Structure 1
Amino acid sequence: MADPDFASPRMERVLDTAADLLVRWGYQRVTIDEVARHAGIGKGTVYLHFHNKEALFLTVLLRAQRQIVAAMADRMEAVPDEVLLSRLLRGLYLVLSNDAIARVLYMGDAEVLGRLAHEAADTLGALVGRRREVLTEHLRLLSAAGCLRSDLSPEALLYTFSAIGTGFFFVGGMPGGTPDLDVETRADLLEHAIATAIQVPDPAPAALAKVAPVIAALYRSLITDIDHEVRRRIR
């Protein structure tokens, strides 16, 4: 699903450069001048696209989120098993382990984001709320399809899913936190933990095939919200 706001090679170059500098230097240190210089364009060209530094870097984070959500929806449409929460979280864990910008976005790395963390929380609060709505509906649809444990309330399912995922992401991001386990092994363990805690054994393939397009569409609707936020920041 292409987005015309990111179609221009010059726009991609600016965003790629800003993302690289954000991870390497942190938000406080990076300037529009440095982004322009490393991208090989004039500072005025950056301002042709973005109102200010905050708008540029919020767009960097939004683009990362859009790519993650779009890939998630693509997998769900291609392989119905991917709507299972164990598979969803496994995929997200692998992305965050291998993509520095995605990791900064989802972990809210204050050292890298600096003041932008506060701005992102304030400005993108509605989008965070929408993500939670989508996840809550995702759980409801899986429950209705008989894929989740019926002895746990919706609140308990969401809490358990979030608590296990947060634990794996947090420990995996700590220096020396998992010295003897590679990323794939950790992702496998996370998938197993979620499946054991909240899913039924061997969810019915027919049920997954039926519900997968509906759940994928939910995430597609979230992409629309992300695009709206992007367009608010691009001239």
Structure 2
Amino acid sequence: MTKVVRGVGAGEPEVSRRRERAERILDAAAALILRWGFQKTTLDDVSRQAGVAKGTMYLHWKTREELFRALIGREKLAMAEDLRQRISADPAGATLRGILKYSALALMQRPLLKAVLMRDIDVLGKLAQGEQSRTAHVEKLMGFNVYLELLRDYGLIRTDLSLRAQIYMFSAIFMGFFFVAPLMPDEYTLSDEELADLMAETVHRTLEADRPVPADELQTISQNFMHYLDLAVEKAQTQFQKEVES
């Protein structure tokens, strides 16, 4: 494996080449997995689609599983950055209602992440039975409960329910809408925007306090959520850079 030496003039172009090549491999893997599913997608298929030698792929990832983990890491990073932009553009975006709506819309743009959430066997194959999606969800909730506590402190969500119950209810609303959508008759099919709005309305009526939110409180919770999100993006970015540059 080529060793990247930081600070050396010849090193940076090599880093850029490796990054560009890794991105091309990941793009190819994403297209093929969505088309054929993980089980039917081989490293040979990915190398041909990406236009790189199979041996070259091993400079980045030794197995399909390693490649898939990197692909999902890139998708999570893109979703977090998308979510940040959506919330930044809406003064009420960092409320529980806003977070759910914009998380749903961002997820809808990323079918691979949606497949992981729903443990879609057609897309993921044997990976659908693994612990990856459950572990990722648990890690996310462990960070998110801190933010829910902040909302409770500000009186922006109900306090007559335990934090544990609220996390469960929020998760059930978010995941439940995605699971039921494919089962609905055609006449009940909703657009992405309609589905996200309905999810947001459900969480608002179920968990949020019934009072107007002053502008200064919105600003405070938005700053806190952005800090939480920035930490998540920084962590994901660092991990992804290690994957494609090392």
The TM-score range, normalised by the shorter chain, is 0.7 to 0.9
Query: Cα gap change, 1:31/1:134 in structure 2, threshold over 3 Å: closer, same or farther?
Result: same
Where in structure 1 are there 5+ consecutive unaligned residues?
none
Q: Measure the CA separation in 1 of the matches of 2:233 and 2:169.
A: 26
Match of 1:221 among 231, 239, 242: 231
1-structure distance, mates of 2:209, 2:187: 29
- In the TM superposition, residue 119 of structure 1 has moved relative to its aligned partner by 5.0
Corresponding residue to 1:16 among 16, 27, 38: 27
Relative distance call for 1:179 and 1:87 in structure 2 (3 A) is: same
Contact 2:156 2:208 in 1 (8 A): yes
**Percent identical residues:** 29
- The residue identity in structure 2 corresponding to 1:212 is S
Conserved in 2, the CA contact under 8 Å of 1:73 and 1:217? no
Going from structure 1 to structure 2, the CA distance change for 1:138 and 1:21 (only over 3 Å counts) comes to: same
Structure 1 contact 147–204 (Cα < 8 Å) conserved: no
State the secondary structure of the residue aligned to 2:92: helix
Please tell me the residue identity of whatever aligns with 1:45.
T
State which of 124, 143, 153 in structure 2 corresponds to 1:144: 153
Counterparts of 2:182 and 2:241, CA distance in 1: 32
CA–CA distance in structure 1, aligned partners of residues 68 and 34 of structure 2: 11
TM-score (norm 2): 0.82
TM-score where L is the length of structure 1? 0.85
Whether the 8 Å contact between 1:62 and 1:226 is mirrored in structure 2 is yes
Separation of aligned partners in 2, 1:64 and 1:136: 23
Q: State the alpha-carbon separation in 2 of the partners of residues 6 and 100 from structure 1.
A: 28
Matched to 2:103, the amino acid is L
Are 1:188 and 2:197 counterparts? yes
- Report the residue type matching 2:209 in the other structure: V
Partner of 2:36: 25
Q: Is 1:69 matched with 2:72?
A: no
Could you say if the C-alpha distance between residues 75 and 93 of structure 1 is closer, same or farther in structure 2, counting changes exceeding 3 Å? closer
CA RMSD of aligned residues (A): 2.7
Residues 1:148 and 1:224: Cα distance change in structure 2 (over 3 Å):
same
**Residue matched to 2:214:** 204
Q: Which residue of 1 aligns with 2:178?
A: 169
**Separation (CA, whole Å) in 2 of partners of 1:103 and 1:218:** 22
C-alpha contact 2:83 2:106 (8 A) present in aligned 1: no
* Distance across 2 between alignment mates of 1:178 and 1:165: 22
Question: Does the alignment pair 1:106 with 2:113?
Answer: no
The runs of at least 4 aligned residues of structure 1 exceeding 6 Å deviation read 4-7
Change (3 A) 1:89 1:5: farther
Q: Deviations over 1:157-181 (max 9, x none)?
A: 2122112122211112436477443
Q: How does 1:52-91 map to 2 (within 5 A)?
A: 52-91=63-102
**What does the per-residue CA deviation read over 1:42-61, in whole Å, with 9 as the maximum and x for residues that have no partner?**
21221122122211111111
Flag structure 2 segments of 5+ consecutive residues without an equivalent. Answer: 1-14
Instruction: Tell whether the 8 Å contact from 1:76 to 1:213 is kept in structure 2 after alignment.
Output: no
Q: Is the 8 A contact 1:18 1:35 kept in 2?
A: yes
DSSP 3-state at the match of 1:203? coil
Deviations along 1:96-149, one digit per CA (max 9) or x if unpaired, are 333322211322212211223345529x83x44331111101111111122112
Judge which range, 28-37 or 163-172, deviates more.
Answer: 163-172
SS in structure 1 of the partner of residue 59 of structure 2 = helix
| Count of matched residue positions in the alignment of Structure 1 and Structure 2 | 230
CA deviation string 1:16-41 (max 9, x = no partner): 11011111111111111111111122
Rounded Cα–Cα distance in structure 2 between residues aligned with 1:54 and 1:119:
11
